[in-house]
Amino acid sequence: MTVRVYRFAQQPIDSDATLAHAYATMEFIIRNKLTAVPDSEMDVDPTHVDQEGRYLGLNSGKPA
């Protein structure tokens, strides 16, 4: 099973460093009033997405 993430184009004014990730789930993007970049969908392993919905990158995830 994979999770679909999207690149986002902007951050809300009151954002913090944790919102600086390039990809996130659509739920996270909508909740944080971000703008998804069209045609940027990417299917990723669920272990590379944090509980908030941010994509952490290929070298992240839970230890095996």
Give the pLDDT confidence of 4-43 residue by residue, as tens digits.
Answer: 999 987 665 565 555 555 899 999 999 988 889 889 999 9
CA atoms of 13 and 5, how far apart (whole Å):
22
Both tokens of 36, joined, read 């998804």
**Are the CB atoms for 54 and 18 separated by under 8 Å?**
yes
β-sheet with 23-24: strand ranges across: 23-24, 3-7, 42-44
Instruction: With beta carbons less than 8 A apart as the criterion, state whether 48 and 2 touch.
Output: no
Residue 57: its pLDDT value, please?
Answer: 82
For the entire predicted model, the pTM comes to 0.73
| Structural tokens at position 21 | 């990730």
